[in-house]
Amino acid sequence: MNVVVCVKQIPDPADPGALDPNTKTLKRDVKLILDESDSYGVEMALQLVDTAGGGEVTLVSMAPNSEVGGLRTALAMGAAKAVLVSDEALAGSDALGTSKVLAKAIERAGEADLIITATESSDGYTGTVPEQIAELMGLPSITFAKSIAVEGGTVKVQRQTEAGYDDVEAPTPAVVSVTAGVVEPRYPSFKGIMAAKSKPVDEVTVADLGIDASQVGWAGAGQEILEIAAAEEREAGTIVEDDGEGFQKIVDYLAELKVI
Amino acid sequence: MADYRTPTKDLLFALRTAGMIDQISASKRYEHATYDVVEGVFEEHGRFFNEVWAPTNALGDTEGLEWSEEGVTTPESFKDAWAKYVEAGWQGMNLDPDYGGMGFPEVVYGLSAEATIGSNAALSMLPGLTTGAVELLQNWGTEEQRERYLPKMITGEWSGTMNLTEPQAGSDVGLSTTRAVPQDDGSYRITGTKIFISFGEHDLTENIIHLVLARTPDAPAGTRGISLFLVPKFLLEEDGSPGERNDVKCVSIEHKMGIHASPTCVLSFGDEGGATGWLVGEENQGLNAMFTMMNAARLAVGVQGTAIASAAYQKAVDYAGERLQGREVGSDQRGPAPIIVHPDVRRMLLEMKSYIEATRNLTTHLAASLDMSRTTEGDDSEGWDERVEILTPVAKAWCTDVGVQVTSTALQVFGGMGFIEESGVSQHFRDQRITPIYEGTNGIQAMDLVGRKLPIRGGAAFADLVAEMRRIVDELEGVEEMAASRAEIQAAFDELDTATKWIMEHGIADPRDALAGATPYLELFGLTAGAWLMARQALAAREELANGADAGKEFLEGKITTARFFCEQILPKVRSLTPAVTSGHEILYEIDAEALAST
């Protein structure tokens, strides 16, 4: 079974970069790493291929400056190869522009039984790309998967809901977004890291994918960022002394918030 | 408080400067270990230890160990941390590829060990000792021993120990009495008691391979009669799997000031008739074999000094940025400021950072010298070998003495909170305090430096090294921002020359004179060597700044500042040390031993 996983390479959240005041977007000229929320999809894909007893995991990513830092991590975890779209024309792409590029890159990655994504990236948080990819490719879309099984030509998913989960299924190939935290992503092994050095990364431009540059980047973006502002500083919390009736204060507080 | 963060940027800087990785990976043996490859490895390696090991550090300290007749139970969180370590294959870093290792240079291993130690000093003892045992078997074991034991030790599925110390034989290993009696089948019966055996018993691996010093029945007295034996906890079956329990038992574990989660065992061999062991190397050559391991172990303890200090520094610098006390002098801000703005706190932090970089440079250069000696030939190789011999006791002692000092300063930055266990910084201090003691006390290292290392090639080896170090004075000429540093370095070399000359001359006439000044002499040499490497660091940073500053402008400028601080403000200490080196032994004996004790 072949699985394609869409992965995003983002600035390290532990060492966050700045927003560019001109473009009002995150500066991405720093070293990028694998978005942690994508590591769950990579892990799930590797497990699915293991269970199937054959096939491979291919990564698809769009990133500036031919960045492969994050791809190498996922390759070291066990993915076989990657398609990287890197093109100056892509700067400023909105979610739909990104989806158009990823959809074409997924096609380039070869026949896939399943396309896995995260539910949303940890830097942009639009949370709409997986569904857009499915629509553009004419494939079924299943979101918020907590587990995935593929049998015959059917993908069976436990789809997380507020109350629990729904059992849903769709014919393959399908686009499935995976909820963060549902599997424990493996750490790359030493041998895996060494092997990743020589795994193929197919780097392509917008033109290679047959996309008109005016459809992506700033040119194609159907959205505009008007203003950016720093988040308000968090206010100091309230400290309540427990005089033996602390529980009542918690109950009152929750009632005030109308959550109970 | 933020958890431990492997200082990957600093490690990589050290690797490409004092670590000479480009020269080392130009050799056939290490051609796979290019800078780019190691950079990729370090990024994942550091993340692994930050995320998997660091969270177990405080847990191990508070939970500690449990001894019973059946064995030693390690903290619960260690099981998963160790299993993941084995799974990732990190144990094989510098070990023989023929048996499953990755065959990376010692300098890469040494720098990587900072992550292992910094994230959990107690647990890091297990892979450290296993690496030592593997290296010993790689060098001295028979082909059969290597094939049977090394693959599982290199994965970390089995661990290794070093059994030297006995109750009456500590620094003086020649006094050991553990006996080994040859049997008809070629094995030996081992009987005796060993103490202070780190990870001598634990539940993290399925077998433990003890390397044990013992005497055969007709062995000569003293160190010339000591042989080395391999004694597995479980004897191996035909197929190589662990089988019957050997007659070696952990009879107790020590209650220690620090590294609480590292079991320090009393091992009893032969309570039920004798443990089965096999000779490693030749009879009566045990100490030679042990010494090959000991150089590597002393280097590793030097790295511990830096690694624990660096972990403590991280906590201190974070705290200094958060703790609000006092107004900033010269500022119109009215409210309390983070203490990092106060000059005295700044001094503490900069001193710590400079010391950490200097000690890291020294162990890195030592490890790289070991690699150079292995990848060069003839006189070149011999020269690097001599450098290794000279720098080993200095790296072990100076880096750990400095490590204790830096860790203590980290505690000081916390004020009263530093003395409270909750801050986490006191654990580093307790863990650090063993490093000047074990693997040959720092006093023993100083004696080794003046007694064995200075006289190599009649003193010429030492003179060659110092002459090369002194070249930095010329290299700094005309570098304006380093002018004050250059003057201090020049003065320090003059002090070193005076002290060395005195030791060489007086030491021959009366060894007590050399031994009495050995410790201040070692510090004097450590500071000077540290300054030499810090000046090289500044020059390397300047070059990188001029070539596009890939590592970041702020980072590289910081390297120059710490180098200057070290040379201008720490190095001048050497002038206070020469008098202690050159005063001779007499004053130490003017008060007799009884008078010392009477109060």
**Which residue, B286, B326, B314, B355, is CA-closest to B136?**
B286
| d(C-alpha A177, C-alpha B172), whole Å | 65
Contact A187 B84 (CB under 8 A): yes
Chain B residues lying within 8 Å of A73, measured CB to CB:
44
What is the reported pLDDT for A120?
93
- The span from the CA of B570 to the CA of B398, in Å, is 14
Among A43, A71, A190, which would you mutate to test the B interface (most chain B Cβ atoms within 10 Å of its Cβ)?
Answer: A190
Q: Could you tell me the residue ranges of all domains in chain B?
A: 449-599
Taking only residues 185 to 224 of chain A, the set having a beta carbon closer than 8 angstroms to any beta carbon of chain B reads 186-191, 193-194, 196-197
The sign of the CA dihedral A26, A29, A32, A38 is: positive
Contact flag A187-B90 (C-beta cutoff 8 Å):
no
DSSP category for residue A78 = T
Distance from CA of B445 to the nearest CA of A (A): 35
Of B40, B48, B92, the CB nearest to A187: B48
Confidence class for position B549, pLDDT limits 50, 70, 90: confident
Express each pLDDT in A198-209 by its tens digit. 999 999 999 999
DSSP B475-530: HTTT-GGGHHHHHHHHHHHHHHHHHHHHHHHHHHH-HHHHHHTHHHHHHHHHHHHH
Partnered with residue A118 across adjacent β-strands are A178
State the pLDDT at residue B444: 97
Separation CA B215–CA B191 (nearest Å): 10
How does pLDDT run across A135-184, given as a tens digit for each residue?
A: 999 999 999 999 999 998 999 999 999 999 999 999 999 999 999 999 99
> Is residue B292 scored above 90 in pLDDT?
no
Alpha-carbon span B556 to B550, nearest angstrom: 9
- Provide the pLDDT for residue A16: 66
Contact between residue A12 and residue A21 where contact means Cβ atoms under 8 Å apart? no
Q: Which of B501, B489, B532, B221 is nearest to B362 (CA)?
A: B532
Cβ under 8 Å to B: A residues 88-127: none
Q: What is the pLDDT of residue B1?
A: 41
pTM of the model: 0.93
| Distance between CA atoms of residues A223 and B319, nearest Å | 42
Contact B227, B286 (CB under 8 A): yes
Mean pLDDT computed over B130-155:
97
Partners of B89 on chain A (C-beta within 8 Å) are 189-191
Q: For strand B188-198 and strand B264-269, is the pairing parallel, antiparallel, or unpaired?
A: antiparallel
For chain B, what is the mean pLDDT?
A: 96
Distance CA B36, CA A69 (A): 12
Contact assignment for A188 to B89 by CB distance below 8 Å: no
Q: pLDDT band at A7, cuts 50/70/90? A: very high
Of B182, B214, B194, B193, residue with least CA distance to B284: B214
Question: Would the pLDDT of B83 be above 60?
Answer: yes
Q: Cβ A197–B37 below 8 Å, yes or no?
A: yes
Answer whether A76 touches B (CB < 8 Å). yes
CA–CA separation, A58 and A111 (whole Å): 10
Interface mutation vs chain A, best among B12, B35, B44, most A CBs within 10 Å: B44
Closest CA to B127 of B114, B141, B138: B114
Using alpha carbons, select from B129, B177, B6, B105 the residue that is nearest to residue B384: B105
* CA A16, A18, A24, A29 torsion-angle sign: negative
CB contact under 8 A, A190 and B93: yes
- Asked about B439 being catalytic, the answer comes back as yes
Q: Do B88 and A189 touch (CB under 8 A)?
A: yes
C-beta separation of A28 from A125 below 8 A = no
Structure tokens at B595: 């008078």
* Single-letter code of the amino acid located at B535: A
A69 to chain B: which residues are within 8 Å by CB? 43
Q: Is the pLDDT of residue B561 over 90?
A: yes
Picking from B270, B164, B274, the residue whose alpha carbon sits closest to that of residue B227 is B164
CB pairs under 8 A between A and B: 39
Judge whether residue B277 has pLDDT over 70.
yes
CA geometry: angle B121, B127, B133, nearest 5 deg: 130
- The mean-pLDDT minimum among A216-220, B278-282, B526-530 falls in A216-220
Indicate if the pLDDT at residue A227 is higher than 90. no
Q: Supply the pLDDT for residue A230.
A: 82
Chain A residues whose beta carbon lies within 8 Å of the beta carbon of residue B92:
190
State both tokens at B85: 């370590």
Of all residues in chain B, the percent with pLDDT exceeding 70 is: 100
The answer to whether B561 and B549 have CB atoms below 8 angstroms apart is no
The domains found in chain A, sorted by start residue, are: 2-226 (3.40.50.620)
CA–CA gap between residue B466 and residue B500 (Å, rounded): 11
Query: Is the confidence at residue B232, as pLDDT, over 70?
Result: yes
> Tell me: the pLDDT tens digits for B166-212?
999 988 888 999 999 999 999 999 999 999 999 999 999 999 999 99
| Beta-carbon separation of B52 and A187 below 8 A | yes
DSSP classification of residue A19 = E
Q: Do residues B233 and B245 make contact, with C-beta atoms less than 8 angstroms apart?
A: yes
Nearest CB partner across the interface for B87, out of A72, A189, A196:
A189
Would you call B41 and A190 a contact, using CB atoms and an 8 Å cutoff?
yes
Measure in Å the smallest separation between the Cα of B324 and chain A Cα atoms.
Answer: 15
Chain-wide mean pLDDT for chain A? 93
Local structure of residue B272 (DSSP, 8 states): T
Average pLDDT over residues A79-104: 95
Q: What is the structure's pLDDT at A13? A: 84
pLDDT digits (tens, 9 = 90+) for B475-495: 999 999 999 999 999 999 999
CA distance B349 to chain A (A): 21
Q: Chain A partners of B88 at a C-beta cutoff of 8 Å?
A: 187-190
Could you tell me if B173 and B213 are in contact, meaning their C-beta atoms sit under 8 angstroms apart? yes
Distance between CA atoms of residues B175 and B169, nearest Å: 5
Q: What angle do CA B410, B44, B17 make, to 5 degrees?
A: 65
